[in-house]
Amino acid sequence: MMHLNLKQPLVLPGHQSNVGGTRLAAPSSTAPAVASARRVVSTSSSSRRHAMPRISCSATEEIGLGGGVSAVTVDKALTVRATVEASPAIGQMYAARGLDDIGDLLGKTLLLELVSSELDPRTGLEKERVTGFAHKTLKEGRYEAEFQVPPSFGPVGAVLVENEHHKEIFIKEIKLTTGGDSSTAVTFDCNSWVHSKFDNPEKRIFFTVKSYLPSETPDGLEELRKKDLQTLRGDGHGERKDFERVYDYDVYNDLGDPDKNPGHQRPVLGGSEELPYPRRCRTGRPRTKMDPLTEMRNGHIYVPRDEQFSEVKQVTFGATTLRSGLHALLPALKPLLIKKELRFPHFPAIDDLYGDGLPLPPQTGFDAIRTVVPRVFKIVEDTTELFLRFEMPEMIERDRFSWFKDEEFARQTLAGINPLCIQLLTEFPITSKLDPAVYGPAESAITREIIENQMKCNLTVEEALAAKRLFILDYHDVFLPYVHKVRERPNTTLYGSRTIFFLTDLGTLIPLAIELTRPKSPTKPQWKQVFTHGPDATEAWLWKLAKAHVLSHDTGYHQLVSHWLRSHCCVEPYIIAANRQLSRLHPVYRLLHPHFRYTMEINALARESLINADGIIEDAFWPGKYAMEISAAAYGATWQFDTEALPNDLVKRGLAVRKDDGELELTIKDYPYAHDGLMVWNSIRQWAADYVKVYYKSDEAVAADPELQAFWEEVRTVGHGDKKDEPWWPVLDTRDSLVETLTTIMWVTSGHHSAVNFGQYHFGGYFPNRPTTIRKSMPVEENREEEMSKFLKQPEAVLLDMLPTQMQAITIMATLDILSSHSPDEEYMGEHAEPAWLAEPMVKAAFEKFSGRMKEIEGSIDECNNNPELRNRYGVGIVPYELLKPFSKPGVTGRGIPNSISI
């Protein structure tokens, strides 16, 4: 999206129009002509059935009294010049285009139509359009057209474009100038692809930046507004084509590929009580031969054209490297790595990945890989030898042994990459909610004596609970049903786990005890054991092994639930519903649209390369083929829209209490994620509240908005249809409820996602800190005498045996490097205003305040990170918490809050 500095045009005395659009003013005897615009779309009655919807484009405008447009009424035709800035796709730019080049020479490749937003007062029908071809100029990508606009035309409601090329073309902007005076230029900010008429005869439409509630739509736009949405919804049939812009729903039935390999069959997620799930974008691909419920995985996954990555993102950066880079890199490494032990032989070998690197054999294709994953490859000076060498993560650069320390293990639950799962312990003894007849005794093995011995502060358990000083990381019930399934996989194991933490007087956490549980089976009883950092070497090393298991549990849950499910997956239904039910003219669509940029594309790429059968997640994370099933189980058991709001989430987990005045008080004062997150949340909420008040003058206006109500009804009953009857869904019947809902969506797509994504390489780039899989069970399980003997002799070797293999580690490290990186065209919260916001003075002022608050948050976070009293973010070797600093430069920075989920 281009961001325009909207200039104030010269205002002449004259007619005040309250109809949205661009008023083209002819020169008068007293002053030069002016044009004041806002983008609106209308079609003629003869072609209304072919109206092609279009992402809103912006134009500068002069707001007159009553919100109208200042203009001059004259009696003679007005000469209007249109300038179009366009470009073909990068792959087409230097290719011979044959007929298209000839068409450009003849001046008949872009047909423009100016449409009035007023109806003809005599007939009540649309006024006749003003039409003309734009001719290509000597300047690359520029087209120009000239129109004679009749004096009765009224405000220009839209510019329609018919692309006569045989290939799609990217329209950057269209400028309308009157009387040869460039100061009167009205700019339509398009930044979108226009399909070829040979693919689809319907014209592309560019709406005004003036936002309208449905009840306030100018008469000339009402029917088009409805038709626009109908076209975007499609008819639910047929396979979608790349150039289309149709939004529809489907279940997750395309993760497996049974026709290619019967072992790649995966269950359908969504549409059932057993595996509930949000919906994704429908592609319409045919079903597989082996399984009529599974969609074929043939070719690139469809997403609507304007949801696809920009050319910048495609060429210089992005998840496309998961396809092109990793898919070339990993097979090339296998012959080399197979000659070595599966695991790393010692910890110095792991360190070598960041130092000398791993020498690579001479092979073709590495230059291309080095282009898409540049940080992974280094050339040794004065040689042509190629090495695989990773950047040292900041936490290891600051303190090489931090990953081994209990203090850092605990600190990362508050200031790491997954600070969303720590909870206040409120009940004791701890019991499972699972059926004991299936899984074994429900009582935890963590006893009162264990906790009181480990606290070492003369507190009883009851006193510690009352003082809110005991916390739990609980992965017991969510993982226990999958323990035996995961253990059937080679070189993989799993437990249900609970970890208890104690809040010290300094505001830091220390881990007290870890419980690992294996459920009963037809052949074995339940096994559970509690580990503590005991007084001797054996207990101390068992404690380290138990921590490794918990870290792998936390890593898996983070990737599958905190990251993928709660941001990427659950947001896609909001995007689909918004495009299907909210007109481009709707102010709520205009507010949310920047938060939806590229999310559908990155989700499609995830289904293609990350979460699919035998994809990166299944190959390198412990759940393997059960990964997405576990994600669905977590969705069914834990996901609620209302607790996706940060304050509600903190209260639910006992990490905050709501005081009488409605303000939150944190249970752990030095909780970096919560502290910084609430600053961001409150800033977003104020922005949403200011915005909503501009367009909705009462609660009744919210309840009476048919598009808004249809949008929210579809989110609830279709996009998240498996939870449509839950009582916690908000009802959008007041301005406050709308503000809370919009803030929640905007927070999840920005702050929440940033907190769980852009620190992945910082914390997981040294994989022993966050192992994605543990390959060996604890040596103290029954009938493991050989493992126990090895453990007593070589505990470090046992730990290395447990950690990921070389191939798994390198796969994850390269993946996290990509996923943690900001694109050069990233758009950060509060950085740029949408043209529609700038067109409304009150909204523009509200955004400027929001932008200022986000800049203030940057400074506040810096102050906190330099405060010696905040020991969870300041201290020797500690990485400052910057994941919620709003702005960043490109690359892997560990900071920055983009508007949307784009990686």
Q: Which residues are known catalytic residues?
A: 563, 568, 753, 757, 903
Continuous segment of H or E residues that includes residue 133: strand 130-136
3-class SS of residue 699: helix
Taking alpha carbons only, the member of 770, 873, 860 closest to residue 411 is 873
Q: What one-letter code names the amino acid at 886? A: P
Token pair, residue 51, equals 């109206």
Token pair, residue 747, equals 């927070």
3-class SS of residue 187: strand
Taking alpha carbons only, the member of 832, 586, 866 closest to residue 701 is 586
CB-CB contact of 424 with 413 (8 Å): no
Give me the sign of the Cα torsion angle 562, 564, 565, 570: positive
Rounded Cα distance between 490 and 422, Å, is 31
Rounded Cα distance between 768 and 565, Å, is 24
DSSP string, 343-399: S-SSHHHHHTTTTT-EE----TTHHHHHHHSGGGEEEPTTS--EEE-PPPPHHHHH-
Q: Is the peptide bond before 481 cis (omega within 30 degrees of 0)?
A: no
Instruction: Determine what percent of the chain falls in helix, strand and coil, rounding each to the nearest 5.
Output: 40, 15, 45
CB-CB contact of 687 with 857 (8 Å): no
Dihedrals phi, psi of 126, to nearest 5 degrees: -65, 145
Angle CA 110–112–117, to nearest 5: 160
Token pair, residue 734, equals 């007041």
Q: What one-letter code names the amino acid at 551? A: L
Rounded Cα distance between 872 and 674, Å, is 12
CB-CB contact of 32 with 78 (8 Å): no
3-class SS of residue 157: strand
Rounded alpha-carbon distances, angstroms, from residue 617 to 123, 255, 453, 555: 62, 12, 40, 11
Question: Residues, the chain, total?
Answer: 903
**Those residues with Cβ within 8 angstroms of residue 846's Cβ, 6 or more apart along the chain or in another chain:** 687, 690, 691, 694
Dihedrals phi, psi of 77, to nearest 5 degrees: -65, 150
DSSP string, 517-538: EE---SSS--EEEEE---SSHH
**Those residues with Cβ within 8 angstroms of residue 756's Cβ, 6 or more apart along the chain or in another chain:** 417, 418, 420, 558, 562, 563, 567
Rounded Cα distance between 543 and 881, Å, is 27
